[in-house]
Chain A
Amino acid sequence: MSEGNENLVLEAKGLSKSFRLGDGSIRVLADADIRLEEASSLSIQGSSGCGKTTLLNLLARLEKADEGKVSWDGYEMEASSSPSSRESVMRADFLGVVYQAYYLIPELNVLENILMAARLSAGANRESMDRARSLLSRMGVSDKERQIPTKLSGGERQRVAIARALINNPRVLLADEPTGNLDERTGGQVMDLLLATCNEEKTGLILVTHNPSFAEAADSRVFLKEGKLSSRWEPEAEETKANDEDN
C-alpha cells in the first residue's frame, strides 16, 4: 500500500477483464482503477453493457479478473485468483450488496430475510434482531416485518434489500442499479434513503446508476467507458440514451 491511503476502505488497481465470446473475446475492463474513501459514496455511470456489473463483481471478489488487485480495508488480494474461504468470511462483514432485482428469498419473511445476512456472518441474535427492526423502521417498512417478499411492492422490496445489506454494519455497500426496476418517484425515495442511511451509518457506497441526478448526489462520480474509469464528463448523446433506457 502506498502512503496517504490510510482512509481508503476499498481500492482496486489495474483491473482487466475480458470475456470469451465465440472465437474472439470482448474486453470489458482494461486497467481500471477505483478508490473509495471511508464513509464516502461514489457513483458509477456508464452505458448499458459497458461492464459496471462486472466491475462490482470483481470488487466483491465474486469473479476472477484477468489482472489487477483488490483491497478491502487494506487487505490486498490478487484479483485474478479464486476467492478463498477466508474472503468469504470477510465478505459477510465487509460488504453489503443490493441488486436491481432485489433477490429476496421467497421462503423467508421480511425480518427473516434481513436476519439471513446476519446468520451468514456472526449469527442471528437479540442484537441483530433489534438492529434489523431499527433498520426496517429507518427504511419505513417496519409494519411489513412478517410479510412474505412476494407480497411487497418493488419499492418495499428494495427497502428490505437495503436493510439486509446493512444489517452486518458493512464497511462498503455495493449497489447495482438499485432503482432500475422502480419508477422515478419511488426510485427517488429509495435512493434518498440509501444515501442518507449510508451516510448515517458511515458505510461506504458504490452506486451504479443510469440516473444522472442520483449519480450527482454521491460524494464523487466516475464514468466507465471503454473499460476505464474516468471523472471526465461524458458526451451528451450517450447520457440521454442511457436515461431513456432507465425509464
Chain B
Amino acid sequence: MTPDPELARKLLHEMVRIRRFEEKSAELYSAGKIRGFLHLYIGEEAVATGVMQALQPEDAVFATYREHGHALARGLSAGAIMAEMYGKVEGCSRGRGGSMHLFDAAAKFYGGNAIVGGGLPLTVGYALAQKMQQRIGLAACFFGEGAIAEGEFHESMNLASLWNVPALFLCENNLYAMGTALERSEADTNLVEKAASYRIAGKSVDGMDVLAVLEAAQQAAQFVRAGNGPYFLEFRTYRFRAHSMFDPELYRSKAEVERWKQRCPIAGFSARAISEEWLTPETITAIEAEVAREIAQAVEFAEAGTWEPVEMLTRNVYTARVQPE
C-alpha cells in the first residue's frame, strides 16, 4: 500500500500523538497526578492507528485497560482522557473510571474494560443487536493475546460465528500477558487457527507496520460489512514499557526489548515516509510541534478541571426514573 501524503501525515500524526501522550502520562504518574494502574501503549501505536483509520463513525469500539491509544485514535480528546486520569469531572468518564475505563458514547467508544476478555461477549451482543435492528456499523473489539486463554474468548468466538454477527476481533499479540509469554500459556500458539476452528476467517499481520495494519483492517472490515460474519485479526506487536507502572520485568531480557525497539512503528514509518518522499522532514517536525501543543493543552485542561462534590458519590448507580406526573 502506498499512502498519499495526506494519509501518511495522518498516520504519523496519530502515532506520534499516542506516543507523546503516553510519555506525558508516565511523567504525570511519577508526579502523582495520575494514580491507579497505568498501562502504556508505547510500541503498539501502529495497531490502534491503522485499525481506527479503517473504521467508520457508525462502528462501535470495545477495548481493554491499555486503551489510551485506542481512545485517542477513535477521536476522544486528549484533554478529556487526561482529565479522566486526573479524576476530574471533566474527564470522559466523569472521573469515575480512570485510565482503565475510558468511555465516550458519542464516539461509540465502549471502554475501557479491566477484566481480561470482558469486552468479547459484549462485542458479540452489540454486533447481534446491529444485525437484529438491520443497522449498518460493525462492532470492533481489541483484546490482548492473554485473553485467548479465557473461556470467554472461546465462547464468544463460537457465538459470533454461529450467529454470523458483524464483529471484528482485533487481537494485540504483544507476546506477553503480564509476565507470561504466549508459548508458556498456549499449547498451540497459532492464534488465527484458533479462530478458524470456530469457522472465523482470520489473518496474522505485522503490528509494527501501520500500513500493513491499515490494509488488513480495511479488508477485514469490508468482509464483515458485506455480511460475511466475523473476522479475526492478529497483530504481532510488542510493548516497549513495563506491563503497568509496578512491573520489575523479570520475565524478559533487555536484549529482547531492544530488538523490538529497533522495529519502532514510528521511527520505521518516519524513515520510510522520508525515503519514499511521502513526507518531508519539515512536516515531521511540524507534527511533533502540533502534538506537543495539543498535549500541553490537555494537561492544562486536566489541571484546571474540578473535583466532583462528594455528595454526588452514589450518582449514576441507577438511572434516574422519570417521576410520573
User: Is B one of A's binding partners?
Assistant: no
Residues of chain A at the chain B interface (Cβ within 8 Å)? none
